[in-house]
Amino acid sequence: MQTQEIIDLLNKDRANELIAILQYMNHHYRVTGENFTALQDMFKELGIVEMRHAEKLAERISLLGGEPVSRTDALKETTNLTVQDPSQPNQMVEANLDYERMAINDYTDHIKMIGSNDPVTTRILEDILAEEEEHANNLQSWLGTDENAFELRAAG
Ligand SMILES: [Fe+2]
Ligand SMILES: [Fe+2]
């Protein structure tokens, strides 16, 4: 695997993180209704964790000699995700849960693809993946259903 391929995967992950940050911040400011302060706190906390992810990815991309995606035009070319802004709190939670599940799938794939080609990058992605699983669980718990927040996928 070429270093450029790793940089491209990391930039896709970073672009998705940047959209997730905007979405969490948007929901943080807009959420209303019963128990809205608990949701405000959760959206704020999760958004800040996504900021750390975006920074970690940028640092690694930089170290590998790439340019971390930052400009809005480049962002549009790197991710298909857009900020979802539903009006109901539970729809906000579901929209974020969708993005967390997508992140879990992407990070799982990228860890497999990069593997031993770049063990340090792989370890960084594993640390991020563990936090995305926590996020999915937190959001799923808020929805109060027994459904699994994400499915573990068989290796290989
Ligand atoms: Fe993240
Ligand atoms: Fe997350």
Please give the distance, rounded to the nearest whole angstrom, from the Cα atom of residue 70 to the centre of ligand 1: 16
Domain assignment present for residue 155? The answer is: no
User: Does some domain include residue 136?
Assistant: yes
* Structural domain for 60, as ranges: 3-143
In a domain, 152, yes or no: no
Residue 127 Cα to ligand 1 midpoint, Å, equals: 10
Q: Is residue 88 part of a domain?
A: yes
Q: Is residue 149 in a domain?
A: no
Helix axes 89-114, 119-143, angle to 10 degrees: 160
The verdict on residue 151 lying in a domain is no
Count the domains in the chain: 1
Cα(26) to centroid(ligand 1), Å: 16
- Kindly give the confidence (pLDDT) of every residue in the chain, 156 residues in length, as a single tens digit, with 9 standing for 90 and above: 999 999 999 999 999 999 999 999 999 999 988 878 999 999 999 999 999 999 999 999 999 999 999 999 999 999 999 999 999 999 999 999 999 999 999 999 999 999 999 999 999 999 999 999 999 999 999 998 656 666 776 654
Q: Give the DSSP per-residue string, 133-150.
A: HHHHHHHHHHHT--S-SS
Distance 122 CA to ligand 1 centre (A): 15
Q: Is residue 27 part of a domain?
A: yes
Tell me how far the alpha carbon of residue 116 lies from the centroid of ligand 1, in angstroms: 22
The CATH number that applies at residue 53 is: 1.20.1260.10
Ligand closest to 54 (CA) is 1
Question: Ligand 1 is a single-atom ion; what residues have CB below 5 A from it?
Answer: 17, 50, 53
Burial tier of 44 (Cβ tally within 10 Å: 0-12, 13-18, 19+): middle
How many whole angstroms from its chain centre is CA 103?
Answer: 5
pTM: 0.93
Inside any domain, residue 153: no
